Amino acid sequence: MEKGDVALLLEEFGIATDVSSNTVNRHLGHISSGGRRMIYVSQCKPSKSSKGHWNYDFFHTLSFDLVVEIGEAFGILVLLNYVDRQFAVLTGGDLIWVAKYSSRNKSNDGMVCDLVIERGRNGEYYLRPYDRLRPERRRVEIQG
């Protein structure tokens, strides 16, 4: 998707209004929690549409520094599943959770945060750590 397409989706989905785009990932817009904020959009696809061996609805890896930047700007992170036209909006608490439970050192890339969302047996969606053996989960809303 191009940056203009992403900006239109942010408005269509009701995530933000008056969106201006810097890049395909970085946007500014008015969000419901107040004021004009940074909106970082991460486009991803579910495992059913990729070669992965996991079963997840959203997966993306971001640098730890980028997650900190979004948090410091009181921004939001939008994970956009472009295959199913679904999205998750992650705010400050979610970003802290990801930094605490799903960060790792990725050889030459340094510290990264893996954003993994999967559907639980109860039909609700959860952030889960990259390390599949860890038990921590955080409930998130999926829309679209």
pTM: predicted TM-score of the whole model, two decimal places: 0.89
Q: Tokens standing for 131?
A: 């390390």
Residues 95, 18: Cα–Cα separation, whole Å: 24
Tens digit of each residue's pLDDT (9 = 90 or more) over 119-130 = 999 999 999 998
Query: What DSSP designation does 109 have?
Result: G
Nearest 5°: the CA angle 40, 122, 32 is 30
Mean model confidence pLDDT for the chain:
89
Domains held by the chain: number: 1
Tens digit of each residue's pLDDT (9 = 90 or more) over 105-115 = 998 889 999 99
Confidence of residue 36 (pLDDT cuts 50, 70, 90): very high
Domain of residue 55 covers: 3-140
